Amino acid sequence: MIACYPTYARQLPGTDRWRVKATGMIARPLPEWSRRRSAALAILRRVLEIAPEHDSDPVFRARSGAFLFQRVVGCRVVLDVGGREVDAGVTDRLGHFETSFDLDSSDLEGLSSSLGWIGYQARLDAVDGQEQHLVELLQQASGGPASPEPAGCRNPLSSTGQVQFIPPAGLSVISDIDDTVKLSDVGDRRELLANTFLRPFQPVPGMVDLYRQWHAEETAFHYVSASPWQLAGCLAGFFEESGLPTGSMHMSLFRFKDITPLGRIPSKKRSKRRAIEQILRDFPGRRFVLVGDSGEKDPEIYAAVARRFPQQVAAIAIREVAGRHQKKSLEERLSRLRQKLPGRLVQPFQRAEELDSFLASAAS
């Protein structure tokens, strides 16, 4: 399967050219008889305390199936962009590929707005025998017995990537996902796993309408999350079904042993901050609103980013997650954040309605 992740393009200063990022992953689904597949499913059943008969549950099969694959290393990927071929290089040791290329403004005449998207096709470069063999393996995997996937979970053999073209000036939102726009209960490990593997994704009340309102005002969105890349397809379906605005996705790596006693769900504070700072460096002329929650380290990460990019971070909004931190503790964290960001708008909230005028205030 080839999975492409939503990315963005930026206009190169003083030119009519755009620098486009494209990234994705190639993997082969583990067959039903695979020992690795059986071992991974056994780990999930034990952690989630579910019986083998639950394997037929469509949500569990789709979500677990997103993790039951073998990464394909050293495979060359070619992108078809409006009739032009772009060499995306070969996949790395994690099965990922990433490339950048330039397009002229004349190539973007079909865009419907200043925040328009274009699509491209990713395919394997089956020039030599090794890659042709890989194509055959992937075709066999997709054509043989496969786990049924509910609507919205996409793991296609060939993939269409999406790139958003974002102007140099304007307002952007950098948003967390878990417990910010999607109910996850990150503070409770058992509930987090159940919400990830067993239950339909549910939006945080009011956040869909709020983000749609902001999107209607020509606001660009970037979703930076500790959620694993494996769930990108299912999250794309959740965004579409719930009506959340699409945006670039920046997610984390994950290993199965991270949910066993041999490991832990790792802290992604450093990688999350790096991803946010790269977005701000790519768009030095835009203003940014950072939206997260109190469940993990969003206040501290956002404060560090705002100190480093004081002219770009316009405001910070933190959703108060019940149960993770005592209210007094959260107030102390936000107080320290405000002390480090004098004169900057820092808004805690419990309900999305509390942010109705937040974007206007940040833009002024």
Q: Kind and range of the H or E element at 280?
A: helix 269-282
| Residue 142: predicted pLDDT | 44
- Alpha carbon distance 40, 58 (integer Å): 17
For 301, counting Cβ atoms within 10 Å of its Cβ (0-12 exposed, 13-18 middle, 19+ buried), the class is buried
Tell me the torsion sign for CA atoms 84, 87, 91, 97: negative
Task: For strands 76-81 and 84-90, give the pairing.
Answer: antiparallel
Model pLDDT, residue 261: 38
Q: Which residues contact 84 (CB under 8 A, 6 or more apart)?
A: none
Residue 323 CB neighbours (<10 A):
10
Number of Cα atoms under 13 Å in the Cβ half of residue 219: 26
Q: Write phi, then psi, for 48 (nearest 5 degrees).
A: -85, -10
Name the amino acid, one letter, at 321. Answer: V
pLDDT, tens digit only, all 364 positions of the chain = 788 999 999 999 999 999 999 999 988 888 888 888 888 888 888 888 887 777 788 898 888 888 888 888 888 899 998 888 999 999 998 889 999 999 988 877 755 455 789 899 998 875 455 555 555 555 544 444 333 344 444 444 568 899 999 999 999 999 999 999 999 998 888 888 889 999 999 999 999 999 999 999 999 999 999 888 888 989 999 999 999 999 999 998 765 544 443 334 444 567 899 999 999 999 999 999 999 998 888 999 999 999 999 999 999 999 998 765 556 677 788 787 777 776 668 888 999 999 988 888 887 7
Query: Strand, helix or coil at 216?
Result: helix
Helix (H) / strand (E) element for 248: namely strand 248-252
CA R_g for the chain: 21
Report the interhelical angle of 269-282 vs 298-308 (nearest 10°).
40
Handedness of CA 61, 244, 176, 321 (dihedral sign): negative
DSSP string, 238-249: HHHHHTPPP-EE
Between CA 133 and CA 88, with CA 62 as vertex, the angle to 5 degrees is: 40
Number of CB atoms found within 10 A of residue 193's CB = 18
120 near 160, Cβ under 8 Å? yes
Spatial separation of the C-alpha atoms in residues 184 and 239, rounded to whole Å = 15
Whole-angstrom distance, CA of residue 36 vs CA of residue 27: 14
| Residue 306 near residue 313 (C-beta atoms within 8 A) | yes
Q: How far apart are CA 160 and CA 79, in angstroms?
A: 9
Q: Beta strand 248-252 with 76-81: parallel, antiparallel or unpaired?
A: unpaired
CATH 2.60.40 fits 2-30+71-164, yes or no: yes
Exposed, middle or buried: residue 342 (CB in 10 Å: 0-12, 13-18, 19+)? exposed
CATH number of 169-363: 3.40.50.1000
Domain with CATH 3.40.50.1000 in the chain: 169-363
Q: Quick one: tokens of 364?
A: 């002024």
- Which regions of the chain carry the CATH code 2.60.40? 2-30+71-164
